[in-house]
């Protein structure tokens, strides 16, 4: 094997190691169909005294489950059957629907963070043993991301912050104003409703790319730290720890300034010579 071939292999290996080190910046998306959370009082009004929900399936967030039980929700224009109840019982009854559902019901619920139902829309729920009219409790859930504090550190975001999420695929979309919710109890997952999912042809399990609010839409988080900063016209300061042949070829400038600790591979030096570019080490 000649020296050139060995150099090429070493360069490739180093590039692989560097690549492995970069963090994934995607978030799994789960689509929430219409559902309701019931208080124990309302559960008993709808299903009978002392009733307890039975578990159909665990949900991704620890402790949460989809119940076997469903209710009918009723508005002035129409009703929707088989609306899934999510357990366990909560202090307040809350019904989450899409805008499409709301139009069918003839109601105008606000977009809200789960749990914030003050002055939201009214709704009637019907169960096998009775019905309940709630003066408030009907909302369109705001798109949000559940994450553990470790994930928040990883993405550089805080509880209550808004971010933008971009999806790829046949019909790429960006979701604006996606709320970050951080808790040690949470597992990393973005929740959107069926209207949002359908608009981007998104299915559960698909991943979105997090873009912090205020950053350019076109730039995913992985590239927020641009390796090249402009210094003066025609000159660039290369910020990474390793300058490779590919970098030399990709950089537009004839003058490439690197920091003192940056490793310049032999192939990068060859490429610079070939392309008549100067590599300058800064102090």
Q: Which residue, 37 or 134, is less far from Zn ion as judged by CB?
A: 37
Q: Give me the least distance between CB of 47 and Zn ion, in Å please.
A: 24
d(CA 260, CA 265): 14
Q: Give me the least distance between CB of 140 and Zn ion, in Å please.
A: 13
Q: Give me the least distance between CB of 189 and Zn ion, in Å please.
A: 7
Which of these ranges, 80-88, 183-191, 233-241, 248-256, lies near Zn ion under the rule CB under 5 A? 183-191
Q: SS3 string of 40-100?
A: HHHHHHHHCCCCCCCEEEECCCCCCEEEEEEEEEECCCCEEEEEEEEEEEECCCEEECCHH
C-alpha dist (Å) from residue 54 to 50, 89, 126 = 13, 11, 18
Q: Which residue, 191 or 245, is less far from Zn ion as judged by CB?
A: 191
Total binding residues for Zn ion by CB under 5 A?
1
Residue with tokens 């009854």: 93
Could you say which residues in the range 185-224 bind Zn ion, by CB under 5 A? 191
d(CA 17, CA 13): 6
Residue nearest to Zn ion (CB): 191
Q: Which residue, 37 or 191, is less far from Zn ion as judged by CB?
A: 191
Q: Give me the least distance between CB of 9 and Zn ion, in Å please.
A: 47
| Preceding omega of 88 cis (within 30 degrees of 0) | yes
Q: Which residue, 179 or 236, is less far from Zn ion as judged by CB?
A: 179
The residues binding Zn ion (CB under 5 A) are 191
């Amino acid at each position: 094997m000649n020296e050139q071939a060995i150099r090429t292999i070493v360069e490739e290996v180093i590039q692989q190691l560097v690549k492995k080190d970069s963090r994934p910046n995607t978030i799994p998306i789960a689509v929430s169909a219409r559902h309701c959370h019931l208080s124990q009082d309302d559960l008993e009004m709808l299903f009978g005294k002392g009733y307890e929900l039975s578990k159909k399936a665990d949900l991704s967030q620890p402790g949460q489950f989809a119940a076997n039980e469903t209710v009918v929700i009723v508005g002035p224009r129409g009703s929707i059957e088989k609306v899934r109840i999510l357990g366990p019982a909560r202090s307040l009854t809350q019904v989450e629907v899409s805008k499409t559902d709301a139009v069918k019901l003839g109601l105008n619920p606000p977009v809200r963070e789960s749990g914030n139902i003050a002055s939201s829309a009214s709704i009637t729920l019907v169960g096998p043993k009775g019905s309940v009219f709630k003066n408030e409790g009907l909302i369109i859930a705001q798109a949000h991301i559940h994450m553990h504090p470790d994930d928040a550190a990883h993405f550089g975001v805080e509880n209550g912050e808004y971010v933008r999420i971009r999806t790829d695929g046949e019909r790429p979309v960006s979701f604006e104003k996606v709320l970050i919710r951080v808790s040690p109890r949470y597992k990393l997952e973005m929740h959107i409703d069926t209207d949002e999912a359908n608009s981007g042809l998104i299915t559960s399990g698909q991943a979105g790319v997090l873009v912090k609010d205020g950053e350019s839409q076109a730039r995913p988080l992985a590239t927020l730290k641009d390796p090249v900063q402009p210094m003066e016209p025609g000159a660039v300061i290369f910020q990474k720890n390793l300058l490779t042949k590919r970098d030399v070829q990709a950089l537009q400038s004839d003058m490439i300034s690197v920091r003192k600790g940056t490793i310049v591979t032999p192939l990068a030096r060859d490429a610079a010579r070939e392309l008549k570019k100067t590599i300058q080490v800064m102090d």
